Amino acid sequence: MLRILQRTSRLRRAPRHLCLQSPASCTAQFLPVGSQRPPPIWGSAQLVLFSHKLHNGTDQSPAAAPERRTFSRVSEDDLAFFRKILPGRAITDPDLVESSNVDWLKSVRGSSEVLLRPQTTEEISQILRYCNSRNLAVNPQGGNTGLVGGSVPVYDEIILSTSLMNNIVSFDNISGILTCQAGCILESLSLFLEERDHIMPLDLGAKGSCQIGGNVATNAGGLRLLRYGSLHGTVLGLEVVLADGRVLDCLATLRKDNTGYDLKQLFIGSEGTLGVITAVSILCPRKPKSVNVVFLGCKTFEQLLKTFQLCRGMLGEILSAFEFLDSECMRLLNTHLKLANPISACPFYIVIETSGSDPSHDAQKLHNFLEEAITSLLVTDGTVATEESKIKALWSLRERVTEALTHEGFNYKYDISLPVERIYQLVTDTRQHLGGRAKSVMGYGHLGDGNLHLNITSPAKDPALLATIEPFVYEWTARYHGSISAEHGLGLKKRNYIYYSKSSQAVALMGHIKAMLDPKGILNPYKTLPDNLK
């Protein structure tokens, strides 16, 4: 059927060939009528074949950068233009551009020589119009906290930073609708809203650096998704500058507006490849009067799942977060960040947050839940926090795991969506599969959303270990109809794995949309969509 091939051009043909060839096999796997689950994207034989081709078909890893496309290179005339429209904000000093060329994980480095820092939508419009006409590639950049290499240049793309676009335009106290520029840092918005008795509908560990434009462009999930939903629901409007400089004003502040296609949804999660988001209007919930955080310990994952069910039943309407981490994560927190375990050592830990409007009601509900959890022996130990300082301390045990991991060595990070019951099975299977080859294998994440952060560490980058981990993890995920990138996005590193979770018809349509909105492909090239897309 398919020979082992060496050039990426053949890789380009392979998946389409597979799908055209085997509709029969696909339907053969069709689930019985009345079943809720959609048919698998791959039959298991095709899956193994596809992933084999992806990982062994070419000389380099599917995550490695492709060849530089035929974009223009930045000339002195170009620099003169940028300096004219952005006086003092067109940066070419290598020392200053350096930090924007490297991602937060220090895992990818670009070689851009130009960093632009506009302050207004109009400036971005002028820049993109110019770059489009000159065929110059552009890399939109917010807080540069992404984990899939999507926020930094691959080659010499011009870095377009939104850091100086940090104005809050308006806030309506009655509806809770906030309108702001894309460069506002999430934590700053949170502080602004707190003083007005509201909170942002999303929260993540990177809040001190990440910007709302980037959050929207990556459809960031975070710790509150369980309660307030995703950005697809909470973002009410966007202002976007398209590749040719046209400004698309969809910055409505209406809760309901069914007039035509909902264009903003295209840009949410588009990772800067369809347009540059310049302003956001977002629906913000009221600040809860009563917040409690509970830190629990469980002996087995089954007990953890039962605790989750109990929690949903007894705390349901006040539940705002349900996160978990395993004992390996705790070990890293103790060792590298000197954060002490607030309870006794357990194989699994849960962080539960409740948010409600009445402290005494919530305390009663929480008390009932905890009593039930203890007496039915689902939970072996735990502690509760109602005070701000203690709440922060307990949350840091979950929020700082990513940071602790960076001290342990080289990280292999996987952000997987799976049916909740299966989440930890991937961790145990991976541990077994790797034997003792990795330094540590651990899992943590948004259990309530079915989102696992699987992390493997080794003292230094190890291609042999990587070859053992991939495609094992991806195949495993596809087999259980999961997502190979639950919330981190595809960026540079995961662009070629898209077929594990999306059909080729879907990806082809994505390609059409990209070609329509950005015919020259200047916006964040080499990212999000796979290399083999025509």
Partner 1 sequence: MSGRVLVGVKRVIDYAVKIRVKPDHTGVVTDGVKHSMNPFCEIAVEEAVKLKEKKLIQEVVAVSCGPQQSQETIRTALAMGADRGIHVEVSGKDYDSLGPLQVSKILAALAKKEEAQLVILGKQAIDDDCNQTGQMTAALLDWPQGTFASEVSLEAGKVKVVREIDGGLETIKINTPAVLTADLRLNTPRYATLPNIMKAKKKKIANMKPADLGVDLTSRLEVLRVDEPPQRQAGMKVETVEDLVGKLKEAGKV
DSSP-derived secondary structure for 257-273: --SS--THHHHTT-TTS
CA 524 → CA 71, 486, 520, distances in Å? 12, 21, 11
Min. distance of Cβ 390 from partner 1 in angstroms?
7
What does the alpha-carbon distance between residue 47 and residue 18 come to, in Å, rounded to a whole number?
10
Task: Provide the b/e sequence for 386-409 (b: ≥16 CB within 10 Å).
Answer: eeeeebebbbebbbbbbebbeebb
With 0-12 / 13-18 / 19 or more C-beta atoms within 10 angstroms meaning exposed / middle / buried, residue 138 is buried
Residue 95 lies near partner 1 (rule: CB under 8 A): no
DSSP-derived secondary structure for 310-330: HHHHHHGGGEEEEEEEEHHHH
Min. distance of Cβ 363 from partner 1 in angstroms?
10
Stretch that binds partner 1, among 7-15, 73-81, 204-212, 288-296 (CB under 8 A): 288-296
Among 371, 419, 506, 509, binds partner 1 (CB under 8 A): 371
Among 361, 392, 407, 512, binds partner 1 (CB under 8 A): 392
Residue 379 lies near partner 1 (rule: CB under 8 A): yes
Question: How do beta strands 168-172 and 319-326 pair?
Answer: unpaired
Residue 248 lies near partner 1 (rule: CB under 8 A): no
Residue 84 lies near partner 1 (rule: CB under 8 A): no
Among 340, 345, 377, 509, binds partner 1 (CB under 8 A): 340
Residue for token pair 């077994």: 432
DSSP 133: H
For partner 1 (CB under 8 A), the number of binding residues is: 23
Q: Which residues pair with 139 in a beta bridge?
A: 159
Residue 372 lies near partner 1 (rule: CB under 8 A): no
Locate the DSSP E strands across 201-344: 235-241, 247-250, 276-283, 290-298, 319-326
- Residues 462-521 binding partner 1 (CB under 8 A) are none
**299-338 mask for partner 1 (x: CB under 8 A)?**
----------------------------------------
Which SS3 state, helix, strand or coil, does residue 2 take? coil
Min. distance of Cβ 194 from partner 1 in angstroms?
9
Stretch that binds partner 1, among 137-145, 312-320, 378-386, 512-520 (CB under 8 A): 378-386
Among 372, 381, 403, 429, binds partner 1 (CB under 8 A): 381
Residue 252 lies near partner 1 (rule: CB under 8 A): no
Residue for token pair 């301390």: 393
Stretch that binds partner 1, among 225-233, 382-390, 466-474, 494-502 (CB under 8 A): 382-390
Min. distance of Cβ 388 from partner 1 in angstroms?
4
Q: For residue 283, give the nearest of 175, 185, 167, 180 by alpha carbon.
A: 175
Residue 41 lies near partner 1 (rule: CB under 8 A): no
Among 110, 382, 489, 525, binds partner 1 (CB under 8 A): 382
- Residues 225 and 320 sit within 8 Å (Cβ to Cβ): no
Which SS3 state, helix, strand or coil, does residue 302 take? helix
Nearer to partner 1, 197 or 257 (CB): 197
Min. distance of Cβ 141 from partner 1 in angstroms?
25
Residue 186 lies near partner 1 (rule: CB under 8 A): no
479, two tokens: 């087999």
The rounded Cα 243 to chain-centroid distance in angstroms is 23
Min. distance of Cβ 370 from partner 1 in angstroms?
6
Min. distance of Cβ 342 from partner 1 in angstroms?
4
What does the alpha-carbon distance between residue 296 and residue 381 come to, in Å, rounded to a whole number?
6
CA 237 → CA 39, 181, 241, 273, 341, distances in Å? 34, 12, 13, 18, 42
How many helices and strands, by DSSP H and E, does the chain display?
Answer: 20, 16
Among 7, 84, 367, 461, binds partner 1 (CB under 8 A): 367
- Residues 202 and 229 sit within 8 Å (Cβ to Cβ): no
Among 34, 93, 388, 436, binds partner 1 (CB under 8 A): 388
Query: Residue 21: how many CB atoms within 10 A of its CB?
Result: 12
Nearer to partner 1, 302 or 387 (CB): 387
Nearer to partner 1, 128 or 296 (CB): 296
DSSP 57: S
Nearer to partner 1, 158 or 346 (CB): 346
Min. distance of Cβ 91 from partner 1 in angstroms?
17
Nearer to partner 1, 199 or 507 (CB): 199
Interface with partner 1 by CB under 8 A: which residues?
289, 295-296, 340, 342-344, 367, 370-371, 374, 379, 381-390, 392
